[in-house]
């Protein structure tokens, strides 16, 4: 059984989405993250540590291309593995770990090549603002998302679902499909918080531990 890797913001739960159409509903408790998924997520983090160590060698600019190639291979394996074990972020399946680590490695390799090797840094300012205030960006975005998901509007639907359907699904689904609509919502939400963290950086407001 295959499962789509997108889900409508404010829509069905992962438990319902992963259940086969002809089966009984699967409880969220049955699909709760297990110790195995926790170990897999730790492995994903270690991939980032190894990638950073790999790039720290002075004068080894060619290593960015090797990292990009490794990331491409991991992404391909993750997509193939998705046919047997669906990619799912909430459960942090092994296919998701491979896919996400591969994509992250490719992006890291490209950023290292353009910023550290070629010194093309002007375009990276919004991303640097996220890096200066990661805790603020994370906790504020998650908190506001929770408020939007719990704030109901007339029609017994959450404000998050209403915004998604009105601003993205209504015009993106007819031409590009549900996946494009979900992606558009996610990109717009990240861009919104990008504006916030850039404003915080200009005001010299930094939140850390």
Length in residues, the chain: 209
Residue that is last in its domain, among 120, 137, 153: 120
- pLDDT for res 156: 75
CB crowding 11-34: b at 16 or more within 10 Å, else e: beebbebbbeeeeeebeeeebeee
Asked if residue 126 and residue 205 are part of one domain, the reply reads yes
Asked if residue 27 is part of any domain, the answer here is no
Q: How far apart are CA 174 and CA 178, in angstroms?
A: 9
Asked if residue 141 and residue 91 are part of one domain, the reply reads no
**In this predicted structure, which of 33-37, 124-128, 182-186 has the lowest mean pLDDT?**
33-37
- pLDDT for res 41: 82
Which residues of the chain form beta strands (DSSP E)?
152-153, 157-158
List, for residues 76-101, the tens digit of each pLDDT value.
Answer: 999 999 999 999 888 888 999 999 99
Provide the domain count of the chain: 2
List, for residues 117-134, the tens digit of each pLDDT value.
Answer: 888 988 888 999 999 999
The predicted model gives 52-56 an average pLDDT of 85
Asked if residue 198 and residue 128 are part of one domain, the reply reads yes
Q: How far apart are CA 96 and CA 44, in angstroms?
A: 10
Asked if residue 125 and residue 107 are part of one domain, the reply reads no
Task: Kindly calculate the radius of gyration of the chain based on its CA atoms and give it in whole angstroms.
Answer: 19
Tell me: pLDDT of 6 over 60: no
- Alpha-carbon torsion, ordered 110, 98, 40, 113, to 10 deg: -10
Asked if residue 112 and residue 45 are part of one domain, the reply reads yes
The predicted model gives 108-121 an average pLDDT of 90
Asked if residue 46 is part of any domain, the answer here is yes
Asked if residue 137 and residue 189 are part of one domain, the reply reads yes
DSSP element (H, E) containing 148: helix 134-150
Looking at 56-124, list the stretches that DSSP marks H as alpha helix, in order from N- to C-terminal side: 63-81, 94-111
For residue 87, what are the domain limits?
Answer: 33-120
Asked if residue 205 and residue 125 are part of one domain, the reply reads yes
Asked if residue 131 and residue 113 are part of one domain, the reply reads no
Residue that is last in its domain, among 83, 99, 120: 120
Asked if residue 107 and residue 135 are part of one domain, the reply reads no
CA angle 110, 195, 184 (to 5 degrees): 70
Asked if residue 108 and residue 148 are part of one domain, the reply reads no
Residue that is last in its domain, among 120, 139, 158: 120
């Amino acid at each position: 059984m295959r499962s789509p890797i997108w889900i409508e913001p404010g829509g069905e739960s992962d438990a319902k989405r992963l259940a086969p159409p002809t089966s009984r509903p699967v409880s969220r408790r049955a699909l709760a993250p297990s110790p195995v998924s926790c170990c897999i997520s730790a492995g994903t983090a270690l991939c980032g540590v190894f990638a950073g160590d790999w790039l720290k060698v002075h004068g080894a600019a060619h290593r960015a291309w090797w990292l990009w190639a490794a990331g491409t291979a991991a992404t391909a394996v993750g997509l193939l593995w998705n046919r047997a074990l669906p990619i799912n972020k909430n459960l942090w399946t092994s296919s998701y770990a491979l896919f996400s680590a591969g994509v992250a490695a490719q992006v890291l390799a490209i950023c290292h090549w353009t910023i550290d090797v070629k010194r093309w840094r002007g375009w990276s300012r919004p991303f640097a603002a996220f890096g200066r205030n990661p805790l603020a960006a994370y906790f504020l975005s998650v908190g506001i998302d929770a408020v939007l998901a719990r704030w109901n509007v007339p029609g017994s639907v959450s404000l998050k679902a209403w915004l998604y359907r009105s601003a993205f699904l209504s015009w993106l689904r007819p031409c590009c499909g549900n996946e494009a609509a979900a992606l558009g919502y996610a990109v717009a939400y990240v861009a919104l918080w990008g504006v916030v963290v850039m404003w915080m950086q200009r005001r010299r407001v930094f939140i850390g531990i």
